[in-house]
Amino acid sequence: MNERHPLNPYVGAYPWLDGRAGIWREIARYVLKDAPQAQTVVELGAGYCDFINNVPAPARFAFDMNPDMERFAAPGVKLRVGDCRGLPGIADGSVDLLFASNFLEHFTVEEAAALLGDAHRVLRPGGRIALIQPNHLRCPEHYWDDPTHKTAFDHQNLPGLLTQNGFRMLRMVPGLLPFSMKSRLPKIPLLVRWYLRSPIRPLAAQMYALAERV
């Protein structure tokens, strides 16, 4: 059964799970090592703002469709409620890092390509895009459990989509995280940090893609 956060009755695609804040602190730490000097960061599909709240950049922007998520944005995070397509309000060439987790699979290939085009436009030359995505090749039996998933992305086809839309691949990790935070693996932050650093990650079905705007 989905758990309810005491301040948020919404339990659909974004159920509140105890321990998620500590997990996301470690995920943010991992991602930010790939853009340590980022001054302007954008997150798409921010949900509870777990990632963007842990970013120390002076300019932080986030997009989410759910108005209930506004209350979870930390001071200084500018959360826009609504469709992120076109990245309204984000100036061309102004972003150092754009991040999204469990996001592109909710779009068709054509829609995902258009979103990557938007990302390319707002990123500065050399700016980076970091994506955490379920890897279809590692979780085919669960990938379509979510009826809003439209496209099967994996560590073989996602790099091609990125390069076709003006990015240069820097790193692809086929298995970085378990498919879901409901995994049986421990959720103690120190163990999460160890897991992310380990070359062996049991049950890892989420991939990590890092690319640079060219």
- pTM value is 0.90
* Consecutive H or E run containing 109: helix 109-122
Among the listed ranges 3-12, 103-112, 193-202, 205-214, which one has the minimum average pLDDT value? 3-12
Here the tokens at position 72 are 């979870």
Beta strands 167-178 and 204-213 are: antiparallel
Convert the pLDDT of each residue in 157-168 to its tens digit: 999 999 999 999
Question: In the 8-state DSSP scheme, what is residue 135?
Answer: -
- Give Cα 81 to chain centroid, integer Å: 17
